[in-house]
Amino acid sequence: MVDMATLSAHHGSQASRARLRKRKMAELRLKAYGIAAILVAGIALLTLMSSVVGQATRAMTESYITLPVTLSAEDLDPDGTGDPSVIGKANFGGFVKDVLKEVFPTVTGRSARRELYDLPSSGAAFELREQVMSDPSLIGQTMDMTFLASDVTDLYLKGDFGKLRPQPHSGDLTVVLADDGETAEIRTNSNDFANALAEVKEELLDQAVLLRRQARLQNTGAEVFAARATRTEYADAKADLEAQSASRIVERDRLAGLAEDLERRAGEPDGTEALSDNSPTVIIRVGDGWAKMTEIGMTGGKADVVLPIGAADAIPPGDWKLYLHDLPETARKISDQQIIWIEALNERGQIKSVFNTRFFSAGDSREPELAGIWGAAVGSFWTMLVTFGLAFPIGVLAAIYLEEFAPKNRLTDFVEVNINNLAAVPSIVFGLLGLAVFLGTFGVPRSSPLAGGIVLALMTLPTIIIASRAAIRAVPPSIRDAALGLGASRLQTSFHHVLPLAMPGILTGTIIGMAQALGETAPLIMIGMVAFIVDIPTGITDSATVLPVQVFRWSDFPERAFEARTAAAICVLLLFLVIMNALAVFLRKRFERRW
């Protein structure tokens, strides 16, 4: 028997108090989960934004190299015509290369020259051409001209491939040049290279660890094959497996031997160490002369001269510099020589970094330093124009019909269900629709803002219809009654009274739908707006791309410099979205009426 009064006494008892504590804990837990969920969402948003903005800031500047140029007539306009069309045919690419050769006359050999030519952008020659064509009087003059730096140069200057770290040193430097002047003996009278040597040795140990790991893998393989060999019943298979095992043992021992050798070298307190492409780079600089060490001991070693260095005796520590670069040459896109050239140019003040206006005014390009988003932005504009022109009137008219005129029957019901379902159809399916129907059957030009706009309009239509219906429904029936009571027809009532009152809500919904359309990518890829288009589109039937598709394309390119540009393009896209949403919020706040 349970007596209710006894139960009543339970409230406030010791047991109930203990239970209450537990219940309160559960309460706190649920609350904590809630806060955690909000925090997770917040952190996700923050990480997303900071990773995008962080990347984007690096695309906001571009680098230029200033070089002295003599625009000699024999190179550019041998006949002295002064005619831009003749000048345009001159070999400006070769001309820029000649300029570089003059700046660094000691650079010889095909591969070294090619590295040198990679310092300015391939677009620099075109820009020079344009400049000279628009002002032929420049020919014959000598002046300083700026050349756009290549993406690799620009990235190095922004610190993407590490920095040269100056090392402390206290010794006097002696340089003994070899006969050809291309290599040199470097000596100091103090242990100035100890630090560099230690880093090199550390690198050796790292390599040894890798080799050991590979040796272990080979060992496992050997064991596996040996075990299989004992299990198998067929003689030929057995022989084969044993051979496999043996070859792995050989490889294991070879790797282990290499690792041992590396460890031994690393373990020796001094001695010399040859530097390979996988070692940290050690660089010596005396005045304008630069050399890259190829072998170092505690007090110096051998070096390759990159920029002419004079033979000298006992240069005091203040007059020479020792640099270390942690990233080995193989781990970066830029070679040691290129670093030295850039540093040398930088030292002479021939490199400058300016705000990247090109990014906002240029079309697409395969070269990251030349690529801009203006083409995509204009493409987006045309596409949105088509989308708005179709989706807004159709959406509003459909909403008026469904709210004000549609009879309550199965057809209307079907239309409604249809609209709701259409709102949740994956966007890529709309792309397939566009591909099959508008490109295939109706022959709308491929890649054109017209095709993109139609597809996006169909996609946005449900959003606009649903928002417009809500806005129309919010207009109180009393307004309709008043108009109808004065003898207006239902159509007049709808267009003269209901629609103007619902307009702010309709516009808000339309802007939100347009914002969605502006960020949409997948359906546009389906209808070919992913093509490489350099020209700025001038109408709705030109080939074009749009901002989000541009983001997608750039993110797919291997050049590292595109990463920052992709992020910058995202920022531009987000900026437009923010503006549109702010407009929607403003409209809602300013004109929203509550009845």
Partner 1 sequence: MTNMRMTEQDLGVRENKIEARGVDVFYADTHAIKAVDVDILDNTVTSFIGPSGCGKSTFLRCLNRMNDTIPICRVTGDIRMDGNDIYDRSIDPVQLRARVGMVFQKPNPFPKSIYDNVAYGPRIHGLVRDKAELDEVVEKSLRKASIWEEAKDRLDQPGTGLSGGQQQRLCIARAIATAPEVLLMDEPCSALDPIATAKIEELIDDLRTSFSVVIVTHSMQQAARVSQKTAFFHLGNLVEYGDTQKIFTNPEDQRTQDYITGRFG
Partner 2 sequence: MPGLIILAILAIAAVFFSLSRARALNVSGGQLSNLHSRPFYHGLYSLLWVAIIGLGVFLTVLFLGSNLINMLLLGEAREAFPDGSTIEYQLLMNDARAIASGGIPSRVDTLREALAGKYATLENIYAMSLLILPAAAALLTGAVTLRQVDVNWRARNRAERVIRFILLGAAVIAVLTTIGIVLSLIFETLNFFNNIGWRVDKYLFGTRWSPLSGVHDGSMDADKVGAIPLFAGTFLITIIAMLVAVPVGLFAAIYLSDYASPKVRAWAKPMLEILAGVPTVVYGFFAAITVAPFIRRTGESLGLSVASESALAAGVVMGIMIIPFISSLSDDVINAVPQSLRDGSYGLGATKAETIRQVVLPAALPGIVSAVLLGISRAVGETMIVVMAAGQGANLTLNPLEAVTTVTVQIVMLITGDTEASTAAGPAFTLGFTLFCITLVLNVIALRVVRKYRELYD
Q: Does 424 bind partner 2 (CB under 8 A)?
A: yes
Q: Does 25 bind partner 1 (CB under 8 A)?
A: no
Using the contact rule CB under 8 A, the part of the chain among 174-182, 320-328, 410-418, 501-509 near partner 2 is 410-418
Binding mask 460-499 for partner 2 (x = CB under 8 A): -xx--x-----------------------x-x--------
Q: Does 551 bind partner 2 (CB under 8 A)?
A: yes
Q: Contacts with partner 2 in 332-391 (CB under 8 A)?
A: none
Residue that the structure tokens 């294991």 belong to? 252
* Residues 292 and 298 sit within 8 Å (Cβ to Cβ): no
**Nearest-approach distance from CB 128 to partner 2, in angstroms:** 33
Q: Does 4 bind partner 1 (CB under 8 A)?
A: yes
Q: What are phi and psi of 408, to 5 degrees?
A: -80, 90
521: which residues sit within 8 A by CB, 6+ positions away? 548, 549, 551, 552
Instruction: State the amino acid at position 407 in one-letter form.
Output: P
**Cα three-residue angle 366-369-370, rounded to 5 degrees:** 60
Please tell me whether residue 520 adopts helix, strand or coil conformation. coil
**Nearest-approach distance from CB 490 to partner 2, in angstroms:** 8
Q: Does 529 bind partner 2 (CB under 8 A)?
A: no
Q: How far is CA 262 from CA 95, 218, 274, in A?
A: 48, 19, 12
Is 15 or 424 the residue whose CB approaches partner 1 more closely? 15
Residue 10 binds which entry of partner 2, partner 1, none, CB below 5-8 Å type-dependent: partner 1
DSSP per residue, 468-516:
HHHHHHHS-HHHHHHHHHTT--HHHHIIIIIHHHHHHHHHHHHHHHHHH
Site size with partner 2, rule: CB under 8 A: 87
Q: Does 220 bind partner 2 (CB under 8 A)?
A: no
Distance CA 347, CA 326 (A): 21
* Residues 173 and 311 sit within 8 Å (Cβ to Cβ): no
Q: Does 424 bind partner 1 (CB under 8 A)?
A: no
Residue 19 binds which entry of partner 2, partner 1, none, CB below 5-8 Å type-dependent: partner 1
Residue 184 binds which entry of partner 2, partner 1, none, CB below 5-8 Å type-dependent: none
Residue 64 binds which entry of partner 2, partner 1, none, CB below 5-8 Å type-dependent: none
**Nearest-approach distance from CB 81 to partner 2, in angstroms:** 32
203: which residues sit within 8 A by CB, 6+ positions away? 278, 279, 280, 328
**Nearest-approach distance from CB 517 to partner 2, in angstroms:** 10
Of the candidates 437, 479, 484, 503, which one interacts with partner 2 according to CB under 8 A? 437
Q: Does 7 bind partner 1 (CB under 8 A)?
A: yes
Which residues face 351 on adjacent strands?
Answer: 65
* Contact residues: partner 1, CB under 8 A: 1-12, 15-17, 19-20, 23-24
